[in-house]
Amino acid sequence: MKILFNILSTVSFLGIVAIVGGGTYVYVQKDALIAQAKEAAMAEVTAALPGLLSGALGGSTSGLVPDVGGDGAAGAASSIIPIPSAPLGLGF
């Protein structure tokens, strides 16, 4: 039984060392990690901008504006479903 407890305590100790080591690495490298994240985000935004701008300037708008088909007000009014009224009282 003593051997089992020694093995479990060793595994627990190694887990704590790994957590502390990972946290220390992130703390020390936080500036570099933030810079990498900013660069990746800017690359994604830069890649997406031409498609977004062409749609906003009159190019293809597929996916940006839903197609309502014809008069939007008439289509919206015809899609309203009436809700049946509930009976009043207990009914006896």
22 part of a folded domain: yes
* DSSP string for residues in 30-84: HHHHHHHHHHHHHHHHHHHHHHHHHHHTTS--TTTS----S-HHHHHHHTPPPPP
The residue ranking higher by pLDDT, 83 or 3, is 3
Residues spanned by the domain of 22: 18-50
- Structural domains in the chain (count): 1
39 part of a folded domain: yes
37 part of a folded domain: yes
13 part of a folded domain: no
The lowest-confidence range among 5-9, 43-47, 82-86 is 82-86
pLDDT at 5: 97
Q: Note the pLDDT tens digit of each residue in 14-70.
A: 999 999 999 999 999 999 999 999 999 999 888 888 776 666 555 554 555 555 555
Q: Is the pTM of this model over 0.85?
A: no
